[in-house]
Structure 1
Amino acid sequence: MNTPRNLGGFALALALLAAGAAQAQSGSGYFRYGDARLALKHAIAVAEDPSDPADEPRTLVFLSAQPLDAAAVAAAFDALDAVREQAPAGGYVRVCIAADGSECGLFYSPEGFNSGGYGELALQRDEPAHVAGRWQLAQGEFLGTPYDFDLRFDTAITPAPGDALPAGGGAPGAAYNAWLAALAKGDVAALRRMGGDDARGRFPEDDPGTVKESLKSLRDGEPLQAQIARGRQHGDQAVLWVEGVDRDDIRRRGRVLMRRSQAGWQHVESDLDSVEE
């Protein structure tokens, strides 16, 4: 029986869409380090938000032997952690592409190998929503271990999800500064309430020694009060870009992860660096 013309056209359109989707997230090539060789079959790319507002955004391309969930990686506070959870055994390669199209290093797992400035990166597409290119090195050596690679990728760039928070970070920003105030005062009861499940282990009611160590550990590197430059919320998770001076008069700047529970917004993690005045 002949296929009706309109159904045939519809089937062709579906086939073209499927081919386009496959092309929009493709990766190939390999990475060899010593006797270890990782064959690459898939690629995703995510837009990285810089921790310092003065830094330009970068694109992170991840190539792996098995498919990766680009949306989950883009939504994660730490993209590398999200990729490790998805590809714990197979390994992966992360390619960093700067805003000007140059390479800003690569990382190879499971060997934990960093490299940059070697080989040749050629981009065929370098757009806000798509990146395609090839980075290859015929022969390299690190501390006596030979390595070489041929990395090919053609993939859409997945942005971080969420909506911008109002000035000051809204409710998550207020909760972070309240947590900092409790930390500075040593208000353990408030820290238990605002720190989520992790706080129960940090501040046990029957172990004052652990409480003292936890206070010292958490105070190191956290500002006494934070100025919040901007924030982004995605569901019950919010990322804040903060800056402030810690108890040692060192200026800190970076990102903070907040999560909303039935008890309200709670501090989860900070990624802050010291900056010069």
Structure 2
Amino acid sequence: MGAAQAQSASGHFRYGTARLAVQHAVAVAEEPTDLAEQRRTLVFLSAAPLDAQRIAAAFDPLDAVREQAPPGGFVRICITADGNECGLFYSPEGFNSGGYGELQLQRHQAAAVAGRWALAEGDFLGTPYDFDLRFDAPVVPAPGNALPAGGGAPGAAYSAWLAALAQGDVAALRRMGGEDARWRFPEDDPGTVKESLKSLRDGEPVQAVIARGRQHGDEVVLWVEGVDRDEIRRRGRVLMRRDASGWHRVESDLESVE
């Protein structure tokens, strides 16, 4: 289905002398943590069609839109589970805004979202901007099959990777680290190994409770929670990928929990 799933959009976003006239809308669901109240709807507005399925399947939907390089850029609208705005982003300027203008939703459901967000006049460090954005689109869910608590084989691989990381077991990390392990843990560069251990440990739990997962082909997203080495509780998502040697941790998106 891809780009054909994009529905209607109209209006504009102006930042200084740059102006984007939007004609297409794609909406996807985002679950930054396993808590239902933190789920969000992301609406991407552009002048040309975008591949909705590709965006919905991405670990980072924003990156998936950037990779498609829509002419003139794009606008991302973030809507919280309770129907409030959680920010507006405009590319290519890299402009972020929140709390300005008026968001009115005509529909805010799991399957579809429609509304208008407008600001007649704004100023950011001397640069004027304004927008009037209308959108109506189905919310495209992330593809894949649900995994139970524990995350199955990918969850076990992540737990084993965390244990090796906590213990500083470099030999195990080389086996479990996938292609990244070649440059993270070179056998002839102990300095790089030390820096890699420190970098990977920062913000990663020592142990994790895996609430559930979602598998799409050779990729799995795990929703996890745990305490890191600094006794800070972390909650969020982990991307796992499978190759010929098994499941490997690719990326984490974890936030501190107050």
TM class by shorter-chain length? Answer: over 0.9
| Aligned pairs (5 A) from 1:197-276 | 197-276=179-258
Tell me which residue corresponds to 2:134: 152
Residue 114 (1) aligns with residue 100 (2): no
Tell me which residue corresponds to 2:63: 81
Alpha carbon RMSD of aligned pairs, Å? 1.8
Tell me which residue corresponds to 1:13: none
After superposition, the Cα gap between the structure-2 partners of 1:23 and 1:253, relative to the gap in structure 1 and judged at 3 Å, is closer
Judge conservation of contact 2:6–2:52 (CA < 8 Å) in 1: no
Aligned-partner residue type, residue 142 of structure 1: F
Tell me which residue corresponds to 1:177: 159
After superposition, the Cα gap between the structure-2 partners of 1:88 and 1:23, relative to the gap in structure 1 and judged at 3 Å, is closer
| Aligned pairs (5 A) from 1:178-197 | 178-197=160-179
Kindly report structure 1 stretches of 4+ aligned residues shifted beyond 3 Å: 21-24
Residue 139 (1) aligns with residue 121 (2): yes
Judge conservation of contact 2:31–2:39 (CA < 8 Å) in 1: yes
Name the SS of the counterpart of 1:31 in structure 2: strand
Percent identical: 80
Structure number with bigger Rg = 1
- TM-score normalized by the length of structure 2: 0.93
Residue 39 (1) aligns with residue 31 (2): no
Spell out, residue by residue over 1:183-230, the C-alpha distance to the aligned partner (whole angstroms, 9 max, x if none).
112222221221111111111121111111111111111111111111
Aligned-partner residue type, residue 206 of structure 1: D
Deviation at 1:124, TM superposition (A): 2.6
- Pick which of 97-106 and 188-197 moved more: 97-106
1:60 aligned to which of 25, 38, 42: 42
Aligned-partner residue type, residue 129 of structure 1: A
Residue 127 (1) aligns with residue 101 (2): no
Aligned-partner residue type, residue 274 of structure 1: S
Judge conservation of contact 1:165–1:231 (CA < 8 Å) in 2: yes
Judge conservation of contact 2:146–2:215 (CA < 8 Å) in 1: yes
User: Structure 1 regions of 5+ residues with no counterpart?
Assistant: 1-20
CA distance in 1, matches of 2:158, 2:36: 22
CA distance in 2, matches of 1:252, 1:127: 29
Aligned-partner residue type, residue 73 of structure 2: G
After superposition, the Cα gap between the structure-2 partners of 1:56 and 1:214, relative to the gap in structure 1 and judged at 3 Å, is closer
